[in-house]
């Protein structure tokens, strides 16, 4: 796994800037999340277990200061991360 960090700046709902870092793997998983894939499907797509996929999804949600995978996917779409 590449440990290169990718940085993005987003605005939250109140207009406050927040900075976050995602690994390349997390970016891959976030992209699959925005396509509506569940943890099992993400795991199969990336040749990882559904438990590993879930761990990445949880990390993404936390880093984006989201409350759900839907909200994380919304942020990714709103700010054109892909």
- Count: domains in the chain: 1
Per-residue confidence in pLDDT tens, the chain, 82 aa: 444 556 555 555 566 666 677 888 998 999 999 999 999 999 999 999 999 999 999 999 998 888 999 999 988 887 777 7
Is the entire prediction scored with pTM above 0.95? no
For 8, 13, 37, 47, 73, the CA distances from 32, given in Å and listed in that order, are: 18, 24, 6, 13, 9
CA triple 47-82-39, angle to 5 deg: 35
* Structural domain range at position 67: 5-78
Q: What is the CATH number of the domain that holds 29?
A: 1.10.10.10
């Amino acid at each position: 796994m590449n440990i290169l960090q990718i940085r993005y700046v987003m605005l939250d709902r109140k207009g406050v800037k927040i900075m976050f870092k995602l690994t390349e793997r997390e970016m891959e998983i976030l992209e699959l999340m925005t396509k509506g894939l569940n943890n099992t499907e993400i795991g199969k797509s990336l040749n990882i277990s559904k438990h590993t996929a879930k761990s990445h999804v949880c990390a993404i949600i936390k880093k984006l200061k989201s409350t759900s995978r839907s909200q994380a996917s919304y942020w990714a779409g709103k700010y054109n991360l892909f």
